[in-house]
């Protein structure tokens, strides 16, 4: 039996809370803190078609 469709803004496992009408991606939630990202300066964002990658800055480099 197929699982019922759950809107993405209610899927905490996805990490992305929602995409606004203007295309702006809003992210948030405990998963950021769990990943050690507590300040915007700690976040590196890279994009490619169909992919958004968030990485946490480390002293002297990045950690995937």
Asked if residues 29 and 17 have their Cβ atoms less than 8 Å apart, the reply is: yes
Measured CA to CA, the distance from residue 10 to residue 45 in angstroms comes to 23
> How many domains does the structure of the chain reveal?
1
Question: For residue 21, what are the domain limits?
Answer: 8-63
Q: Is residue 14 part of a domain?
A: yes
Q: Is residue 2 part of a domain?
A: no
Question: What's the predicted TM-score (pTM) here?
Answer: 0.48
Q: Is residue 39 part of a domain?
A: yes
Q: Is residue 16 part of a domain?
A: yes
Q: Is residue 36 part of a domain?
A: yes
Structure tokens at 16: 């992305």
Q: Can you give the pLDDT of all 64 residues of the chain as single tens digits?
A: 455 565 555 555 655 567 788 888 887 777 777 877 888 788 888 888 888 888 888 766 555 5
Q: Is residue 12 part of a domain?
A: yes
């Amino acid at each position: 039996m197929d699982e019922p469709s759950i809107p993405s803004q209610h899927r905490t496992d996805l990490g992305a809370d929602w995409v606004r009408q203007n295309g702006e991606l809003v992210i948030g939630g405990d998963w950021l803190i769990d990943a050690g990202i507590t300040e915007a300066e700690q976040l590196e964002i890279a994009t490619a078609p169909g992919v958004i990658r968030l990485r946490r800055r480390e002293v002297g480099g990045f950690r995937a």
